[in-house]
């Protein structure tokens, strides 16, 4: 296992604490895939409990005794026939990452990231976060007895996420700046070696997140969907999942690859703009704004990896409005009983839009990833709902209401 720059190809020792290459390029973890291929088969994988650690040979861990886990991953892949029918689709699945220990896919990354911190022997970890990263990091640092510092950007933070970060005992600091400012500051602390940085620029987190791709294949009985649709913020997850699919193909578990399709909010869509131009680089959005706070990101750190995932898979990117997001969030809850936070619903909103545009074929086998639980952002859900009806304690009135259902 080594760390390798995706831009200039420079290699770094596995144990070197470094987040980006000297040249500024992003790093990724590279394995000896021939060796993995010899050790792993579909049968050996299936003998283990489903979740991130089912795929141990693909994980950047030297000493399995150092693993910090809350049993992340193994989330349900729901076949959504009601919603498929509503949208005139043949086969639709939702991979519900809200079912992770702290309620988002960030746990898949943190189990690996905090395990790495454990192997390195660091005592303090930190991140800048719009919410779910901090909730997850706070939980895994509690589990492993580390100190945790969390920088939140100015503006609204979803209450569920804030409650988690505070309750797991992290030092939570809100700065008077946006997400990118917060990231800049925490990166400086990491450069001074005052903490181990667990933002999505950290390549080890993405190693955990790639198991979403592994599990989708595993749960489809080693078949590969035509398309995977997911929300894109810092663009780590789309990059990670693409890496997962590629590694499964490289090691002979699957033969095909899905089209990676990223969805952003109208007010924060640098990746979408780049894809529409066929550009290799993004132009950052100075003032990102959307109800979907988890993807309110103007300058996605993993943009180069994400653009590669989209271009080389033959996928695409599209943006959706806040209204479309809320509509999709309700639709998913009311047709399938799956309650997700606004950012997560953008995958469904994007699916609807791309169907209308004729970009997605109704015969495709599609997996939408819902990234976080609905209770993460109770305010957004309540604002989008009708108020409860108030009545006197009168059974007649109640019966009448029942008839109107
Ligand atoms: C972090 C997060 C995203 C965005 O993922 P990226 O890897 O930053 O693109 C989307 N939805 C939810 C719920 C998240 O927590
Ligand atoms: Zn480099």
pLDDT tens profile 230-275: 999 999 999 999 999 999 999 999 999 999 999 999 999 999 999 9
What's the confidence (pLDDT) of residue 179?
82
Extents of the domains making up the chain? 77-103+205-383
- Is the domain covering 77-103+205-383 a CATH 3.40.605.10 domain? no
Residues 6+ positions from 103 with CB-CB distance below 8 Å: 132, 135, 160, 164, 372, 373, 375, 376
Q: Which residue has the tokens 């997962």?
A: 244
Rounded CA-CA distance 149/170 in Å is 6
Closest ligand 1 atom, residue 343 Cα: 11
Nearest ligand to the CA atom of 26: 2
Average model confidence (pLDDT) for the chain? 96
Mean pLDDT of 355-382: 97
293 marked among binding-site residues? no
Asked if residue 238 lies in contact with residue 261, where contact means CB atoms within 8 angstroms, the answer is no
Pick the residue whose CA is nearest to atom 4 on ligand 1. Answer: 233
234 marked among binding-site residues? yes
Nearest ligand to the CA atom of 4: 2
Closest ligand 1 atom, residue 105 Cα: 15
371 marked among binding-site residues? yes
Pocket perturbation via mutation, ligand 1, pick of 372, 373, 377, 381 by most ligand atoms within 8 A of CB = 372
Ligand 1 contact, 377 CB (< 6 A): no
Rounded CA-CA distance 341/104 in Å is 10
Label the pairing between strands 91-96 and 77-79. antiparallel
Q: Which of 152-156, 193-197, 316-320, 356-360 has the lowest mean pLDDT?
A: 152-156
Closest ligand 1 atom, residue 97 Cα: 13
Ligand 1 contact, 235 CB (< 6 A): yes
Nearest ligand to the CA atom of 28: 2
236 marked among binding-site residues? yes
Ligand 1 centroid to 22 CA: how many Å?
27
Nearest ligand to the CA atom of 9: 2
Please write the tens of the pLDDT for every residue from 40-82.
999 999 999 999 999 999 999 999 999 999 999 999 999 999 9
Provide the pLDDT confidence category of residue 157 given band limits of 50, 70 and 90: confident
Pocket perturbation via mutation, ligand 1, pick of 234, 272, 293 by most ligand atoms within 8 A of CB = 234
Burial 260-292 (b: 16+ CB within 10 A, else e): bbbbbbbbbbbbbebbeeeeeebeebeebebbb
Pocket perturbation via mutation, ligand 1, pick of 105, 261, 290 by most ligand atoms within 8 A of CB = 105
82 marked among binding-site residues? no
What's the confidence (pLDDT) of residue 178?
83
306 marked among binding-site residues? no
Asked if residue 290 lies in contact with residue 257, where contact means CB atoms within 8 angstroms, the answer is no
**Whether the predicted pLDDT of 325 surpasses 90:** yes
Ligand 1 centroid to 400 CA: how many Å?
44
């Amino acid at each position: 296992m080594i760390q390798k720059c995706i831009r200039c190809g420079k290699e770094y020792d596995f144990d070197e604490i470094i987040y980006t290459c000297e040249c500024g390029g992003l790093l990724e973890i590279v394995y000896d895939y021939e060796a993995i291929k010899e050790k792993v088969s579909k049968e050996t994988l299936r003998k283990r409990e489903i979740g991130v650690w089912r795929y141990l040979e693909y994980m950047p861990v030297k000493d399995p005794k150092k693993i910090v886990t809350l049993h992340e991953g193994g989330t349900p892949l729901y076949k959504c026939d009601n919603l498929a029918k509503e949208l005139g689709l043949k086969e639709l699945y939702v991979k519900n990452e809200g079912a992770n220990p702290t309620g988002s896919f960030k746990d898949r990354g943190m189990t690996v990231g905090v395990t790495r911190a454990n192997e390195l022997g660091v005592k303090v970890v930190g991140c800048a976060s719009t919410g779910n990263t901090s909730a997850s990091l706070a939980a895994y640092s509690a589990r492993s007895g580390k100190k945790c510092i969390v920088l939140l950007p100015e503006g609204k933070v979803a209450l569920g996420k804030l409650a988690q970060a505070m309750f797991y005992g992290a030092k939570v600091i809100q700065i008077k700046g946006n997400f990118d400012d917060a990231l800049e500051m925490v990166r400086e602390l990491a450069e001074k070696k005052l903490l181990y940085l667990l933002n999505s620029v950290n390549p080890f987190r993405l190693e955990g997140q790639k198991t979403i791709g592994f599990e989708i294949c595993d749960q489809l009985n080693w078949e590969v969907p035509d398309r995977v649709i997911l929300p894109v913020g810092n663009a780590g997850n789309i990059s990670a999942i693409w890496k997962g699919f590629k590694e499964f193909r490289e090691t002979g578990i699957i033969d095909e690859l899905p089209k990676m399709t990223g969805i952003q909010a109208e007010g924060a869509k640098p990746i979408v703009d780049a894809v529409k131009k066929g550009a290799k680089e993004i132009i950052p959005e100075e003032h990102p704004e959307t109800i979907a706070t988890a993807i309110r990101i103007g300058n996605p750190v993993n943009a180069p990896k994400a653009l590669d995932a989209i271009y080389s898979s033959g996928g695409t990117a599209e943006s959706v409005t806040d209204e479309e997001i809320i509509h999709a969030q309700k639709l998913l809850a009311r047709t399938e009983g799956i309650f997700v936070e606004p950012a997560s619903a953008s995958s469904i909103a994007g699916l609807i839009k791309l169907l209308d545009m004729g970009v997605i074929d109704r015969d495709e086998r599609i997996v939408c990833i819902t990234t976080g639980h609905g209770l993460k952002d109770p305010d957004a859900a309540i604002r989008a709902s009708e108020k409860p009806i108030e009545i006197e304690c009168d059974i007649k009135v109640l019966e009448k209401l029942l008839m109107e259902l």
